[in-house]
Amino acid sequence: ISLFNFTSAKDFINEYQSGQLPMNKDKNIFLVDYEFLEQDINGLEVIQKLGIAEQSILVTSRYEEKRILQSCNNLGVPLIPKGMVGFIPLE
C-alpha cells in the first residue's frame, strides 16, 4: 500500500494531473476531505475536476448537510463521517 497525504487541494490536483502519482484505476482509493482550510475549493469540486468519483470517498464532519448529501448522490460519491475514517480497512 502506498499512502499519499495532501493538505493542499492545489498540490493534489497538480500531482494528479502531472502523472507524478502512481496510478491504477482499479486499485486507487481517494479519501477526500470536504473542507480544505483557507482554500477556495472543496473536496467535491476536486473529485469532480479530476473525474475520480468512482474511486473516491468524501470524508467530512458535515455529513448531515442536505446540500453535501445531494452533491454526493449526484456524483455517485460515497460519504463517511470524519470520525469514522479510522475504521476503513486498507488492504
Give the C-alpha separation, 18 to 15, whole Å.
5
Question: Measured between alpha carbons, how far apart are the two ends of the chain, in Å?
Answer: 7
Residue with cell 456524483: 75
Beta pairing partners, 32? 58
The reported pLDDT for the residue numbered 25 is 67
Residue 11 parent element (H or E): helix 9-18
C-alpha dihedral, 35 to 36 to 41 to 46, nearest 10°: -80
pLDDT digit string (tens) for 42-82? 999 999 999 999 999 999 998 889 999 999 999 999 999 99
| pTM, entire model | 0.88
Q: What is the predicted pLDDT for the residue at 3? A: 84
pLDDT, tens digit, 9 for 90 and up, residues 15-48: 999 988 777 767 888 999 999 989 999 999 999 9
